[in-house]
Amino acid sequence: VALSLGVPGFAWGGKTRLARRYKPGQQMIYQTAIKTTVKVSSNPEGLKALLPPLPTSLSTRQRNTITVRSVSAEGVAEVENRFDRFEFESNLIELLPEDMRESAAAAQDEFSKQLDGQTLSVRYDRAGRLLDFGGAEAALQQLDAQLREAAKQILRVFLEQMGGGALYPDHPVKKGEEWKLKLDAPPSGDHPFWVEGENTLRFVGKTRHLGIRAAIIDLHFTNLLRPSLDTLRRDGAFVQLQTQGMGLDISVSGEGKGRVLVALDDGRILQNHTTVRQTLKAEMTKTTGTNLPVDGPLSLRIASETQLQVEGGDRPGR
């Protein structure tokens, strides 16, 4: 019994236990590439011209050293994430007026320099779910407002994937078995959305990655995000629409699929190849006698596709 409890990847009767077990002092190195493309559409077509210039292509390449600093009695892990190398690119500069390009390029370069060598403090719960992170505020402030939130969300996606949240089953699984996990979450300070979703996972089998025994897991998820009412009420544009007899409905729907390699000894992520597609939809509907200038509601859609490629391994000498 003692041996089986100490080795979460051990198989019982053809089944395998997959669980995240943080170990203080453990280090991992990750090489990550994230690329996001964006398309904007609106009804009427000219509505999108009222938006400030938005980047339609963003990418990062980075090398990170992850160190588990401590684990509380409740299983919350305090993790240090150091950016040993960070490169950030977007096409926002070429979309800006010529007199703004030089300053935007300088800000983008400064953002990369600020994160290069920067260490983030990250907290995960015992299931690997991201609780919060800090340390990137100064770097994010270097970016124009159009890029700041996008860059923050890219960082968030990366940190979520490092933890492996909404991945591990609550029971031993056999080869070919599927399980589902809810993705529901309330708004938080740095993510003011209600989240509803579900992750469907399948234990494909076992392999070795850089000499480490690993489980192969295929995943597919769907989610729906809606901004909290408190967030909308603080937005001046939303209040102005209400006074003009207009309603505003905002949602972000998404889905993703990929394959993850998980270490059998403690559940740490070894590899992650995932594609995520999301669509932000904003519709302004008539609530009183206001005449709309087009058939149907005024609408704006921002569709994005993000490809995530993560390669990880134990730190040499560890």
CA distance 125 to 160: 11
63-75 burial string, b = 16+ CB within 10 Å, else e? ebebbbeebeeee
Provide the pLDDT for residue 294: 58
Sequence-distant (6+) residues with CB within 8 A of 170 are none
Which tokens belong to 261?
């390699």
Provide the pLDDT for residue 253: 93
Is residue 315's pLDDT more than 80?
no
Is residue 317's pLDDT more than 50?
no
Q: In whole angstroms, how far apart are CA 287 and each of 133, 230, 234, 251, 299?
A: 40, 20, 20, 19, 15
Provide the pLDDT for residue 90: 87
Lowest mean pLDDT among 111-120, 154-163, 207-216, 227-236: 227-236
Provide the pLDDT for residue 249: 78
Mean pLDDT of the chain: 81
pLDDT digits (tens, 9 = 90+) for 150-196: 778 778 878 887 887 778 999 999 999 999 998 888 877 666 778 89
Is residue 9's pLDDT more than 90?
no
pLDDT digits (tens, 9 = 90+) for 35-87: 999 998 888 887 777 777 778 998 989 999 999 999 999 989 999 999 999 88
CA distance 198 to 54: 30
* Helix H or strand E encompassing 251: strand 246-263
Give the torsion through C-alpha atoms of 234, 235, 239, 242, to 10 deg.
-120
11-12, strands of its sheet edge to edge: 11-12, 15-16, 173-174
CA distance 271 to 288: 53
Cβ–Cβ under 8 Å, residues 249 and 280: no
